[in-house]
Structure 1
Amino acid sequence: MSLNKLTDVFVSVLEIEQDEVCDQLSYSEHPKWDSMSHMMLVAELEAQFDIMLDTDDIIDMSSFLKAKQILSKYGVSFDE
């Protein structure tokens, strides 16, 4: 459930296809993931998962895989 929710956030904010979302999806390599969409991702992740990311985590969130790792620190489980 949480993995689907996370995937949906990335699809919605970055306006990409679901099959584009994978662990390798990264800030540095995807043209639609820029500084503005990064902050929109952060805001949507905080809203969807009812958390408040700290500044270091916001800066460190450089890929879909890293987003999963960071959210895990806040108690979000991705076990399917």
Structure 2
Amino acid sequence: MIDDERLRQVFRSALNLGDDFVVDALEYRGVDKWDSLAHMSLIAAMEDEFGIMIDTDDVIDMSSFTKARELLAKHLV
């Protein structure tokens, strides 16, 4: 089972969002802080936090919090 709260914290930290920021419906470019550079920081933070390697196709496809959850499920985290 995916630890949604851990993923939320990764999003908040990597995108420099407040602790109470609701990220569940967040999409790429949904906030100014989620640009291409922040996207790569988010990917790296997810890899570090969950001990996975994300391939290029998934990096490109991960366009929302929901997609990030699906990606973690694919890696059985």
Which 5+ residue runs of structure 1 have no aligned equivalent? none
CA-atom RMSD, angstroms? 1.4
Which 5+ residue runs of structure 2 have no aligned equivalent? none
Identity %: 49
Shift of residue 29, structure 1, vs aligned partner: 2.0
The TM-score, its normalising length taken from structure 2, stands at: 0.88
- Name the structure 2 match of 1:3: 4
Give the number of equivalent residue pairs: 76
Deviation readout 1:16-73 (Å, 9 max, x if unpaired): 1243333320113211100111000000100100000111100001001110011110
Q: Which one-letter code corresponds to 1:48 in the other structure? A: E
Q: Which one-letter code corresponds to 1:35 in the other structure? A: S
Distance in 1 separating the partners of 2:67 and 2:9: 16
Q: Which one-letter code corresponds to 1:16 in the other structure? A: L
The correspondence of residues 1-80 of structure 1 with structure 2, limited to 5 A, is 2-76=3-77
The TM-score, its normalising length taken from structure 1, stands at: 0.85
